[in-house]
Amino acid sequence: MATPFFTVKQAKRLYSKLSLALLHGLGWKLRYDGLPAARGVMIFYPHTTNWDFFYGMLAKWAITFPLKFLVKEKLFQGVTGFFIGSFVRYCGGEPIERGVASGAIPKLAERIQKADWFWLAITPEGTRSYTPYWRSGFYHIALAAKVPVVCAYIDYEKKEIGIYQWLELTGNEQADLAQIRVIYQDAHGKYQDQHGAINFRH
């Protein structure tokens, strides 16, 4: 059963109503009916254009909950960090140093476990271009923190953004990925030839 649409009547704050009104004004609808727990990992797919961030932030503001997301650490450094980095952090951005064995996964899992409320959003493709595999970080974070994974989506054909459904990971990668493929089988990113394949690299 499809997640119901989020309506203006459900928007509790002025900026929430304005964000939802802007989405609607642009022809988009938002599907959201709450989250399964106070802590978890949200994956966003497909991610094929910078416009995804724009619509994603409008959706985030419309439902008014503090969602964290990972951003390249260099965005927070130097002059760029002073201007753009500050805004991204205000929006929920968390710096992460990619390609370095810094123990980020256990650290993030511990932060999630200790928090009263912590939802971490991740784009598992890790790029807007086509990739033959997903980054597995979200999977290991969710397993380590023992939290559910919510499958968020954007569909440029239907002009919808929101949540499909959520799942508890079993630890069986192939079975879990098979379930995620079914969830996202009707997803339509802006550039469908850039949808990343739902596999992990081994």
First to last CA, the chain: 34
Residue type, 70: L
**In which region does residue 26 sit, left (phi positive, over 0), alpha (psi from -120 to 50) or beta (all else)?**
alpha
Question: CA 145 to CA 10: how far, in whole Å?
Answer: 30
- Position 101 scores a pLDDT of 45
Q: What's 37's DSSP letter?
A: S
Whole-prediction pTM: 0.86
> Domains of the chain: which residue ranges?
8-188
Burial label, 50 (beta-carbon count in 10 A; 0-12, 13-18, 19+) = exposed
Question: CA 24 to CA 63: how far, in whole Å?
Answer: 14
Contacting residues for 199 by C-beta, under 8 A, at least 6 apart: 132, 133, 134, 177
The structure tokens listed for 34 are 């709450």
Cβ neighbours around 188 below 10 Å, total: 17
- Position 96 scores a pLDDT of 64
Q: How far is CA 64 from CA 14, 116, 157, in A?
A: 10, 17, 25
Mean pLDDT, consecutive 10-residue stretches, the chain (202 aa), reads 85 92 97 93 96 93 84 64 64 59 79 92 92 94 96 96 95 96 94 95 80
Question: CA 134 to CA 173: how far, in whole Å?
Answer: 12
Question: CA 70 to CA 58: how far, in whole Å?
Answer: 18
